[in-house]
Structure 1
């Protein structure tokens, strides 16, 4: 499900389903509380010198809360989300739901790493997008920090290589949607790469999630960044020079698109200094067997992102409007069944008459739900979000409801009721 609606005809005045203060508090921070009173580890996924990552699930006695249970008892969630019992209102399903529990041993890490970790927590607290990994809770004591995150056990982009052109467009479109949203909130990722884009699960149509915000930064528009961070094979020339903007993320997406389309890297050399030389000269070609059946439009798309001059490089919003993406990742390809869309339209009317408290409760439940649990709702959101940037403007909202006989005033009132949860 999508995250926000943007007010105003052109979306200049962004709003959201809830005030920023509430959105920021959806990730709870627990000081000096025992995480294992709330969660139980089901499997250790990996261990290292600094900590571990485990699969965990919530203890049955700790599922839900007063608002959650009140909404469940009255059938509010069930009615709004299509009139059927859903996974996220079922305590038994919630008990089975898997989370990723990240454990960091504070006495084993450097001050620099602690700073990166706190930076990641602070940034994730402000983000809410279907293609950005969610962090639900943070538990902290003197010795450890535990982060309860959305589980992404489908592997990274290397896990499903090679990809067709259509599959590439789908992945790139979703990554661009996440990055457009991040840049609109003045967040630059700074380490986009194959390893930091994960599949939510092992299903064929699994959603993708951008992860690892440790090197990300809140930037000030018009001000350059200077830290030399990231991974060399997706690093923009300006990052290597130490003077760059958020456009560095778009270079990285161009490299990722190149790799998805051809199963090869645009800049490769056995020695680091030779690779850096190629990056600095933007020296890449569409050669090799991987490019044999790739369309010219796809190549044009890649070339528009791997551009030496960041001012000539497409922005995230411009890239989303590129002809190649519009063709290979069209809105109609993402449309759920018509019956479900009709239910959504009807439930928007019901939502208009719902109390502010219930709207807030619904938002919290949606935030806690995985994309797999609300996959049809996510597809429905896409039908409204025609620009695929993770937000819905009033213009898009009107367009989605144009087939119904609502007056302009009715549509504007419905839009305001969705946006304005105070």
Structure 2
């Protein structure tokens, strides 16, 4: 369900023509409506959100792409997102009666949100147009004032999840203003509901556009969609907000025009995340959930996985992971690899295939960020907009500034092996920091660049505190060559087919530029290993026994740095 939705509910949706899935593979819902883990017969690549609204006051006609009520009769390995959400809400709000399994809640507000009052005196509510996780959406219009008659969308949410509602409104209020987000008007409350008033998007869901094309987009049309999605995702991530439920149903067009803007909606599951924080709630929609979410340790990279699933669907008309049950879907997400052998993949460009693969990498450290995806060769020439600032740059810079001089030298050698395409992203990021006339940046440049793009959400995700850890740049400046060493991701380079070539070439440069004999104790001190660490066990294979210099294996490990994971592995 979206915060703003334009399509009235309908029960007579028909299958898309030229469906990419044979009819024999479609499964009809059983008569009792229990569609647990089954695929919609209408949408061969569409999976409804597992977290249906349990709290609506009325039951409208169900649209073909709305989420069916599903009752979980047994635990799944891993646990079902919907079941997890229900349990979390019940634990979090002890004052609220338990939510009946699939039933309705008549609990009124037991706490004031501090939102505006008098919703009914300002808005005339029309028909229901959408339904989602914790409420439903209706069309409405202003009753009076300068905006009299203006159509809006109103999400009505029963406050069963008090802090979740408060956080959703806070996020929407903070982020409103981006071209690919609906305008946020205000939030109201009364005894029964919270009302979130948003821009009404009348162009329908991205899902509907996909279905109208028979499930397939041309590469050029897919790029147009991707640029808009990635821009809003990059914006959210820079502010420290992770959406956690990106899927075609949660993107709406502002109008029926082919060129209308696409807007991200439904931040009901969104949350703030610090740059160095990992979340552990299992939430989202089964077909779009990232592997690390199922492992209960994830951050903004989980949204990029969901974007990867969307672009896979756009380009080939089918889902990269499918099974008949939720547990089967989760196993596929964790273990299976998406296929690129079937039609139309062999007919698509190699850049398109590489783009999708780099978004659907199961290792979140190797996955592209939204800003990096916008600079990918497949998409960058079609992107007229300025590349957004990437929070990953500051994460990597912090790690670099805390590194030993030996590791910094290794990273500088690696940065000299980057290709023109790999340098494009770094040049754009460096330019966004507005270097001085002598081509260098300092902490002031970073703060100034962020202030231009900051919202109140940055405070809640504690990004200013994180940037304070770059204080070393307060006393010195960094040129572009060092910036490349500081802001490159070793993990992402490892995901490339040419990684071995990168590493070997960088090691040769490192050998020429100062690889010298090193004692193990000296190396341990250089890497900051404490006396309690078994340094000989950890570092014995880092050095060549013939001359005491750093070996190739040691060089590659040095690029990553020494972590507790490295030590435990030994």
Query: TM-score per shorter chain, which class?
Result: 0.5 to 0.7
Segments of structure 2 that go 5 or more residues without pairing to the other structure are: 1-112, 211-215, 392-427, 435-448, 455-570
Of 170, 173, 183, the match for 1:122:
170
Deviation at 1:393, TM superposition (A): 9.3
Of 330, 337, 342, the match for 2:383:
330
Is the contact made by 2:371 and 2:390 (CA closer than 8 Å) also made in structure 1?
no
Partner-residue secondary structure (3-state), 2:379: helix
Partner of 2:76: none
Q: CA distance change for structure 1 residues 140 and 301 in 2, over 3 Å: closer, same or farther?
A: same
Deviation at 1:394, TM superposition (A): 11
Of 116, 121, 129, the match for 1:45:
129
Is the contact made by 1:190 and 1:249 (CA closer than 8 Å) also made in structure 2?
yes
Q: Give the whole-Å Cα distance in 1 for the aligned partners of 2:133 and 2:433.
A: 50
Q: CA distance change for structure 1 residues 251 and 274 in 2, over 3 Å: closer, same or farther?
A: same
Q: Give the whole-Å Cα distance in 1 for the aligned partners of 2:333 and 2:243.
A: 19
Q: Which has the higher contact order (CA 8 A, sep 6+)?
A: 1
Q: What is the correspondence of 1:17-416 to structure 2 with a 5 Å cutoff? A: 31=115, 33-45=117-129, 52-59=136-143, 61-63=144-146, 94-106=147-159, 111-112=160-161, 114-128=162-176, 129-161=178-210, 162-291=216-345, 293-327=347-381, 329-331=382-384, 382=385, 386-387=386-387
Q: Give the whole-Å Cα distance in 1 for the aligned partners of 2:388 and 2:453.
A: 18
Deviation at 1:153, TM superposition (A): 2.5
Q: Give the whole-Å Cα distance in 1 for the aligned partners of 2:374 and 2:315.
A: 17
Q: 1 or 2, which has the higher helix percentage?
A: 1
Structure label with greater radius of gyration: 2
Deviation at 1:50, TM superposition (A): 7.2
Q: CA distance change for structure 1 residues 302 and 393 in 2, over 3 Å: closer, same or farther?
A: closer
Q: Give the whole-Å Cα distance in 1 for the aligned partners of 2:222 and 2:198.
A: 26
- Tell me whether 146-155 or 259-268 shows the greater mean CA deviation: 146-155
Is the contact made by 2:155 and 2:197 (CA closer than 8 Å) also made in structure 1?
yes
Segments of structure 1 that go 5 or more residues without pairing to the other structure are: 1-28, 64-93, 332-381, 399-414
Q: Give the whole-Å Cα distance in 1 for the aligned partners of 2:292 and 2:431.
A: 36
Q: Give the whole-Å Cα distance in 2 for the aligned partners of 1:191 and 1:224.
A: 17
Q: CA distance change for structure 1 residues 37 and 394 in 2, over 3 Å: closer, same or farther?
A: farther
Q: Give the whole-Å Cα distance in 1 for the aligned partners of 2:430 and 2:375.
A: 19
Deviation at 1:230, TM superposition (A): 0.9
Q: Give the whole-Å Cα distance in 2 for the aligned partners of 1:266 and 1:259.
A: 7
Q: Give the whole-Å Cα distance in 1 for the aligned partners of 2:277 and 2:114.
A: 35
Q: CA distance change for structure 1 residues 308 and 105 in 2, over 3 Å: closer, same or farther?
A: closer
Deviation at 1:171, TM superposition (A): 1.2
Is the contact made by 2:238 and 2:389 (CA closer than 8 Å) also made in structure 1?
no
Q: Give the whole-Å Cα distance in 2 for the aligned partners of 1:253 and 1:298.
A: 14
Q: Give the whole-Å Cα distance in 1 for the aligned partners of 2:430 and 2:348.
A: 37
> What TM-score, normalized to structure 2?
0.46
Q: Give the whole-Å Cα distance in 1 for the aligned partners of 2:114 and 2:322.
A: 45
Deviation at 1:177, TM superposition (A): 0.9
Q: Give the whole-Å Cα distance in 2 for the aligned partners of 1:302 and 1:153.
A: 30
Q: Give the whole-Å Cα distance in 2 for the aligned partners of 1:35 and 1:263.
A: 42
Is the contact made by 2:133 and 2:268 (CA closer than 8 Å) also made in structure 1?
no
C-alpha distance after superposition, 1:318-360 (max 9, x if no partner) = 1111011113x232xxxxxxxxxxxxxxxxxxxxxxxxxxxxx
C-alpha distance after superposition, 1:79-108 (max 9, x if no partner) = xxxxxxxxxxxxxxx5453210222345xx
Q: Give the whole-Å Cα distance in 2 for the aligned partners of 1:104 and 1:282.
A: 37
Partner-residue secondary structure (3-state), 1:225: coil
Deviation at 1:397, TM superposition (A): 11
- Tell me whether 278-287 or 388-397 shows the greater mean CA deviation: 388-397
Deviation at 1:286, TM superposition (A): 1.5
Deviation at 1:288, TM superposition (A): 3.3
Q: Give the whole-Å Cα distance in 2 for the aligned partners of 1:273 and 1:394.
A: 44
> What TM-score, normalized to structure 1?
0.61
